[in-house]
């Protein structure tokens, strides 16, 4: 029997979002009410009955509060467990946000409807779950079996599989999944992109069948999420696939979490709160349930690789599956192409190799890591660059909508647009995005079948699945895309990959830019030559001497790691510190800067008094690289914490004392994925 007098319940209130309130527990409910119980409660002056969830208990309230009574328990079975709530509380504490925000993010909104039994089933079923023949299981190669056996033996809860592209990491995942299911345990399988989630789900269905497999990511409907949650609650799901948010789905009897392409920054939520990293949440989840965590990548994050080395939990695959060879990588200097009067986005080398590959019945991938048509639009009269009126970044032209678009606030402007400075109509688009690559490719390779896959092209449900299926069946000759196509594509008929501007990812003023650039180039190179035919990769560049480009050409992760880790150690960047980023923003630039200066001063004094100023370093404040977003000016304070969790708690304890005027916004980003 519950001996507490009050229950804290989470209620979703129209226009106010999710909030927690204290309610009195009636005597006849005390032996039934539990954490996670769905209850009906009166709310507001009109005492409207709302559906709510119990998230805690107490025996005391602040003086002057007169709580209403919980009316009834709607479901005898709690919707989530105390362990699940413990996970959400950890997320709340670690990522510096309130528990209501975490619960609101984790729970499908369908749960707050008065009668969830009347939810609308999705009109369009997910095509991933169409019936398919189950393939025979592939046996592991000696190299794969060695890694599999070692992962099974070690006591460490977290393992990292570093395997070059095409080395067969997925086969090891499948064997670990099979073992876990045989033990009566369940699996969460995460991938960074929705397109990759779909590919992995299809491959898993081909191996295990569609029964007891489910999906969880931002592109499925609330009705689908509710249906999946219901099945999870009833232990009807054995394997749950998803992007980062799937780590919050309450799967029962968890035995294994797999995080593929673990290096990818998509596992970090940058906005809104909670700004969590799914890898760290997965580690906590495994601690709570005694499950194993397996990370995999051909280009592991520097932090994961460093940790794996120091915990003896690194396992390597250095040969491609079935002894296939790595593709040849060629660097083409686009400056010379310009001197030779070639002003297209495609070098002569790439054009010739593309025609040869397709004429030999092979397929080609073109990567351009920027969506839209161009990079920026500039006035030819006065030189003014067309910027978003709300954000300090260039507007990007999109040819299908014939408009300019801001990729931060989604503001649009019609085309043609007059120069905001001189009024001239001589605005010209410069640089290239995936749409421009597609248009030029359709002119140069007009006899071939071409498709584009990026977030702008995915307007309909299942569209990305259709494009990937067509490409897999050989119905598309050239697939053009952003980083979405750089990971996980396993098409054995692809023998050529062209990277249109290999310099793009290295040019950002961020300590992780070299890691991101190396990773995307190595990953996309790995899409070529996965079958019997040898592959080829062409990097088009304006800086052929870039050391990281050379590392990617050699596909030498270990050499890249050694160069990068020495730089990280020199400047106390992760993994040699934990970072906290504090952003002060306001529509008044002076007030944003003044608030940032005051916080930095007080924090530095606070750390000095504790004699922690050498172990916890405070940098800044300075204007953010993108110093204005959605009409708010932004100032940045970076905190490098070398004391791990004790330092983390110290900094957050200080930040909780900050009280700001209503026109100043404080954003705290724990373990930021970038410092832009």
List, for residues 296-311, the tens digit of each pLDDT value.
999 999 999 999 999 9
Cα–Cα distance measured from residue 439 to residue 402, given in angstroms and rounded to the nearest whole number: 14
- Sorted by sequence, the CB contacts under 8 Å of residue 652 that are 6+ apart come out as 93, 96, 668
Angle between helices 169-182 and 142-153 (to 10 degrees): 50
Residues 222-234: what's their mean pLDDT? Answer: 83
Task: Please name which of 261, 321, 256, 336 lies closest in space to residue 295, comparing C-alpha atoms.
Answer: 261
Residues 324-339: what's their mean pLDDT? Answer: 90
pLDDT tier for residue 118 given thresholds of 50, 70 and 90: very low
Omega cis (within 30) before 621: yes
Q: What percent of the chain lies above the pLDDT cut of 70?
A: 93
Is domain 325-373+432-567 classified as CATH 3.40.50.300?
A: yes
Q: What percent of the chain lies above the pLDDT cut of 90?
A: 48
Q: What is the CA radius of gyration of the chain?
A: 27
10 Å Cβ neighbour count for 165? Answer: 24
Residues 520-535: what's their mean pLDDT? Answer: 89
CATH topology of domain 140-322: Rossmann fold (3.40.50)
195-199, 343-347, 441-445, 486-490, range with the lowest pLDDT: 486-490
| Tokens (6 digits) for 489 | 């594509």
pLDDT tier for residue 498 given thresholds of 50, 70 and 90: very high
Q: What is the pLDDT of residue 400?
A: 78
Q: What is the pLDDT of residue 457?
A: 64
Whether 575 shows a pLDDT value over 70: the answer reads: yes
Task: Please name which of 264, 257, 259, 341 lies closest in space to residue 296, comparing C-alpha atoms.
Answer: 259
Q: Do domains 140-322 and 325-373+432-567 have the same CATH topology?
A: yes
Cα–Cα distance measured from residue 470 to residue 21, given in angstroms and rounded to the nearest whole number: 52
pLDDT tier for residue 115 given thresholds of 50, 70 and 90: very low
Cα–Cα distance measured from residue 368 to residue 45, given in angstroms and rounded to the nearest whole number: 57
Strand partners, 21: 9
**Stated pTM of the model:** 0.87
Strand 403-405 and strand 396-398: the pairing is antiparallel
Q: What is the pLDDT of residue 130?
A: 60
Q: What is the pLDDT of residue 127?
A: 57
Which regions of 177-245 does DSSP assign to beta strands (E)?
Answer: 186-190, 213-216, 239-242
| Tokens (6 digits) for 52 | 């709510």
| Tokens (6 digits) for 376 | 């920026």
Q: Where are the domains of the chain?
A: 6-116, 140-322, 325-373+432-567, 578-670
Residues 231-259: what's their mean pLDDT? Answer: 91
Cα–Cα distance measured from residue 516 to residue 514, given in angstroms and rounded to the nearest whole number: 5
Q: What is the pLDDT of residue 558?
A: 93
CATH topology of domain 6-116: GIY-YIG endonuclease (3.40.1440)
Q: What is the pLDDT of residue 187?
A: 96
47-51, 552-556, 597-601, 666-670, range with the lowest pLDDT: 47-51
Q: Are 432 and 480 in contact (CB under 8 A)?
A: no
| Tokens (6 digits) for 386 | 């067309």
CATH topology of domain 578-670: Alpha-Beta Plaits (3.30.70)
- Sorted by sequence, the CB contacts under 8 Å of residue 572 that are 6+ apart come out as 617, 640, 642
């Amino acid at each position: 029997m519950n001996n507490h007098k009050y229950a804290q319940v989470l209620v979703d209130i129209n226009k106010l979002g999710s909030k927690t309130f204290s309610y009195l527990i009636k005597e006849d409910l005390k032996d039934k009410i539990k954490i996670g119980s769905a209850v009906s409660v009166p709310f507001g002056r009109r005492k409207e009955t709302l559906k709510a969830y119990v998230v805690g208990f107490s025996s005391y309230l602040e003086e002057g509060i007169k709580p209403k009574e919980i009316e009834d328990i709607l479901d005898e079975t709690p919707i989530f467990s105390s362990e699940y709530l413990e996970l959400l509380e950890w997320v709340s504490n670690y990522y510096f946000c309130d528990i209501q925000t975490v619960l609101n993010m984790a729970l499908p909104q369908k749960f707050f409807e008065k009668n969830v039994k009347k939810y609308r089933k999705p009109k369009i079923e997910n095509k991933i779950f169409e019936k398919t023949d189950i393939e025979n299981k592939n046996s592991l190669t000696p190299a794969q079996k060695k890694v599999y056996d070692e992962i099974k033996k070690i006591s460490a809860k977290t393992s990292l599989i570093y395997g070059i592209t095409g080395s067969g990491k997925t086969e090891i995942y499948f064997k670990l999944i099979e073992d876990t299911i045989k033990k009566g345990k369940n699996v969460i399988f995460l991938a960074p992109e929705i397109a990759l989630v779909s590919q992995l789900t299809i491959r898993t269905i081909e191996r295990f069948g569609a029964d007891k497999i489910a999906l969880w990511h931002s592109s499925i409907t609330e009705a689908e999420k509710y249906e999946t949650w219901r099945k999870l609650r009833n232990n009807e799901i054995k394997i749950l696939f998803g992007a980062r948010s799937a780590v919050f789905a309450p799967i029962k009897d968890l035995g294994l979490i797999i995080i593929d392409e673990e290096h990818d920054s998509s596992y970090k939520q940058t906005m809104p709160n909670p700004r969590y990293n799914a890898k760290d949440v997965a580690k906590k989840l495994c601690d709570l349930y005694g499950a194993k965590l397996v990370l995999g990548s051909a280009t592991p994050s520097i932090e994961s690789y460093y940790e794996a080395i120091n915990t003896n939990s690194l396992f390597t695959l250095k040969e491609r599956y079935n002894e296939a060879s790595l593709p040849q990588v060629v660097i083409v200097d686009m400056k010379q192409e310009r001197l030779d009067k070639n002003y297209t986005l495609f070098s002569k080398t790439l054009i010739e190799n593309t025609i040869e590959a397709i004429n030999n019945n092979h397929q080609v991938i073109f990567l351009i890591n920027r969506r839209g048509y161009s990079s920026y639009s500039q006035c030819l009269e006065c030189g003014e660059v067309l910027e978003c009126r709300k954000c300090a970044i260039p507007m990007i032209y999109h040819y299908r909508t014939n408009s300019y678009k801001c990729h931060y606030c989604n503001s649009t402007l019609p085309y043609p647009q007059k120069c905001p400075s001189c009024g001239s109509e001589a605005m010209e688009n410069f640089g290239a995005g995936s749409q421009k690559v597609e248009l030029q490719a359709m002119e140069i390779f007009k006899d071939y079948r071409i498709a584009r896959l990026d977030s702008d092209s995915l307007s309909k449900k299942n569209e990305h699945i259709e494009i990937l299926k067509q490409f897999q069946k050989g119905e598309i000759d050239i697939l053009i895309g952003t980083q979405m196509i750089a990971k996980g594509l396993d098409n054995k008929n692809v023998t050529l990959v062209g990277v249109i501007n290999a310099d793009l990812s290295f040019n950002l003023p961020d300590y992780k830019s070299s890691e991101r650039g190396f990773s995307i180039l190595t990953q996309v190179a790995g899409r070529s030559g996965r079958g019997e035919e040898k592959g080829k990769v062409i990097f088009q560049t304006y800086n052929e001497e870039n050391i990281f480009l050379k590392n990617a050409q050699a596909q030498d992760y270990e050499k890249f790691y050694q160069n990068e880790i020495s730089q990280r150690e020199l400047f106390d960047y992760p993994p040699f510190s934990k970072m906290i980023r504090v952003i002060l923003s306001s529509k008044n630039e002076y007030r944003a800067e003044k608030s940032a200066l005051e916080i930095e001063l007080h924090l530095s004094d606070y750390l000095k008094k504790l004699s922690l100023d050498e172990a916890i370093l405070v940098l800044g404040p300075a204007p953010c690289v993108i110093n204005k977003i959605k009409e708010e000016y932004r100032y940045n304070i970076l905190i490098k914490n070398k004391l791990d969790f004790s330092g983390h708690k110290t900094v957050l304890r200080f930040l909780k004392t900050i009280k700001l005027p209503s026109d100043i916004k404080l954003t705290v980003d724990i373990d930021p994925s970038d410092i832009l």
